[in-house]
Amino acid sequence: MKRYVSLFAATLLASPALADRLPIPAGAPPAFKAECGSCHLAFPPALLSADDWRRVMAGLDKHYGDNASLDDKTRRQLEDFLMHNAGSSWKLGSGGGDPPRLTLTSRFQRKHREITPATWKDKRVGSAANCVACHPRAEAGSFSEHEITMPGGRRHERD
Amino acid sequence: MKHLFPMLLIAACGAAQAETPRQVGDNYAAAQGGGFRATASRGADFFARKFNVSEKFPACVTCHTDNPAQPGRHAITGKDIKPLAPVANAERLTDPAKVEKWFKRNCKEVAGRECSAGEKADFIAFLSEAR
């Protein structure tokens, strides 16, 4: 019981820091950035649950309209890495879509509820998965509110 | 002195993996056989050709732009892609496994089929001459 209580406390303490700092976990295989970071940002593993990562990794040949197939050894290595560093499904909600999308988890939608449909459709953004369009330091794992730039160069204003 | 031999060995192994664009292209030309000679202008045509197999990326230039010495942009994700031409990006065409992986992927997506070894040799000749 005591173990659960301290685990719970640790989770609470860790939450604020986790919200805007999502660096790629230490010990990530080099293939993670080389493979999963070549067509888009190497997405932080914590933003999708283990179950959803398994589904993403099971269909790399039909990957959201693209083909991201890997040799079997690399595929398994990356699947292990992603599932070990996955987020918890009760915090994230499941990613809708097939394969599942982290941009459709309820956590992502909640964090981005202020963004208007016009902004999502802006040519410079193009896709919600284009994190770098608004989080210029996303490659370094930083999603801090203070760094956000909205397309057009405007800094994001709270209303 | 005792350490020199292992160090040379390591250096030699490293060199075996990294190749020059020329070597990578020559290997494809040899694989095509029949004394195939790569031609940059055929590679340029291939690069610009509208295959129209995929609605989102009808041609190589959709993501890589029509100038391979310039950075491109992924047609769906919007991510920047570094230039393909070695003149602008010295890492290009030096890792045969990486080159083959992307030919495999991109030819299938764009042309709807694998590229022949000769088409790859032509494409590499084109990129190598791009300025």
Tell me if chain A has a CB within 8 Å of the CB of B105.
Answer: yes
The class level of CATH for B20-129 reads mainly alpha
Residue A138's pLDDT is 95
Q: What distance in Å separates residue B1's CA from the closest CA in chain A?
A: 33
| pLDDT tens digits along B81-104 | 999 999 999 999 999 999 999 999
Mean pLDDT of B43-53: 96
Q: Report ipTM (2 d.p.).
A: 0.79
Verify whether the Cβ–Cβ distance A132 to B79 is below 8 Å: yes
Report which of B27, B123, B10 is spatially closest to residue B68, judged by C-alpha positions.
B123
Touching check for A40 and chain B: CB below 8 Å?
yes
pLDDT at B54 over 50: yes
Nearest CA in chain A to B73: A39
Taking Cα atoms as reference points, which of B129, B79, B126, B29 lies closest to residue A138?
A: B79
Tell me the mean pLDDT per 10 residues along chain A, length 159: 48 52 92 96 96 96 92 96 95 89 95 91 89 94 89 52
What confidence score (pLDDT) does residue A4 get?
A: 52
The answer to whether B109 and A67 have CB atoms below 8 angstroms apart is yes
- B50 pLDDT higher than 90: yes
Which chain B residue shows the shortest CA-CA distance from A128?
B77
**Distance from C-alpha of A52 to C-alpha of B36, rounded to nearest angstrom:** 48
pLDDT at A3: 54
Does residue B121 surpass a pLDDT of 80? Answer: yes
Instruction: State whether B79 and A125 contact (CB < 8 Å).
Output: no
Sort A154 into a burial class: Cβ within 10 Å, 0-12 / 13-18 / 19+.
exposed
Q: Which secondary structure element, helix H or strand E, spans residue B80, and what is its range?
A: strand B80-81
Q: What is the pLDDT of residue B15?
A: 44
